Amino acid sequence: MSSTDTSARSGAPIHDRDPAADTEPAELAWRQADEDVFVATSRGEFAGFVTVDDTAHVVHDRHSRRIGCYPSLAAARQALVDATRPPSRSRERLHRRILSRRR
């Protein structure tokens, strides 16, 4: 089926998806939007931004939620990369174990 085929029920286009695209972390592409704003995209989608305020670099995710404040632009960018990386299975298991102990 090609990406231009349509669904028989809805008439909406059906897009072929690459399953590997969802499992591999995408690299962030950075653009300077203003003198004090840097914007990141991942696979063409908005991923977050960094604002620079005197000595602080404040990172926000794709929903504009604040991730943290960092002393350098490099540290701020890495924080967004870490925040957008899907969790590993071992980390998920650890998280579930911690939550089960709290019950």
| Residue-wise pLDDT tens digits, 41-85 | 999 999 999 999 888 999 999 999 999 999 999 999 999 998 887
- 49/62 Cα distance (integer angstroms): 8
* 49 DSSP assignment: E
Pairwise CA distance, residues 66 & 64, whole Å? 6
Q: How far apart are CA 20 and CA 92, in angstroms?
A: 20
Q: What is the pTM of this model?
A: 0.61
